[in-house]
Every structure is written in C-alpha cells, then in structure tokens.
Amino acid sequence: MSAPSNFKEYYQYYLTLHSNPICKILHVIGQLATIAYVVFFISRGEWVPLVLAPFIVYPFAWAGHFFYEDNTPAAWSNPIWAKLSDWRMLWDIITRRIKL
C-alpha cells in the first residue's frame, strides 16, 4: 500500500493493523483508562498531570500489538493520525461499526 494521503486512507490502513479482537479490546481498555485519568485529575483541579494523558493508552495498545498482532504500533510512524485513529476506532466499536 502506498503512503496514505489523507485521514480516511490512513484510518483504513490503521484498521489493517488491528485485526485481532484482543488487541482491539486492549485499545478500548486503554482509551477508557485515559478518560478515567483525565476525569480524575480534572475533578481534583490538577492540570499538570494531564500532559501525560495521551500516553495512558500505550501500555495497553502496544501489548496488543506485540503479543496479539505481532506488528508495529501505528503511533511509531504517524503519532498524530494514530492517536486520532485510536479515538475513531473506539467510537466505531462503541457504535458497533466495528465488531469485536
């Protein structure tokens, strides 16, 4: 596949890296952990820890890639589009556009 030229193409590529249901579940857990982390610190009025929020998902997601997908995480090649794709995939899973 040639390099994606827009987000729609990138997201389709991103989904090819997430075919294993356990990997997708680990991504969902990581995204939900990120939301909980953000809510926790906002509710306490602590803003500095929020700089770490984008990284909460990685231990979950990367475990899915290393142990179940046997591939390289998309964040290594395009971190911004990969992060956007993480949230898009979560939405697509919640709305059942993507089955686990």
CA-based end-to-end distance of the chain:
25
Q: Which of 4, 31, 15, 23 is nearest to 97 (CA)?
A: 15
**Residue 70 located in a structural domain:** yes
Whether residue 30 lies inside any domain: the answer is: yes
Is residue 9 in some structural domain?
no
Residue 13 lies in a domain: no
Q: Does some domain include residue 69?
A: yes
The amino acid present at 44, given as its one-letter code, is: R
Four-residue CA torsion sign, 71, 98, 88, 13:
positive
What residues make up the domain containing 26? 20-94
In a domain, 10, yes or no: no
- Whether 36 maps to a domain, the answer reads yes
Query: Number of structural domains, the chain?
Result: 1
* Residue 64: partners with Cβ closer than 8 Å, 6 or more residues away: 18, 20, 22, 23, 24, 25, 26, 27
For residue range 20-58, what is the model confidence (pLDDT) as tens digits?
999 999 999 999 999 999 999 999 999 999 999 999 999
- DSSP reduced 3-state for 63: helix
pLDDT, tens digit, 9 for 90 and up, residues 67-96: 999 999 998 989 999 999 999 999 999 999
Q: Tell me if 3 is assigned to some domain.
A: no
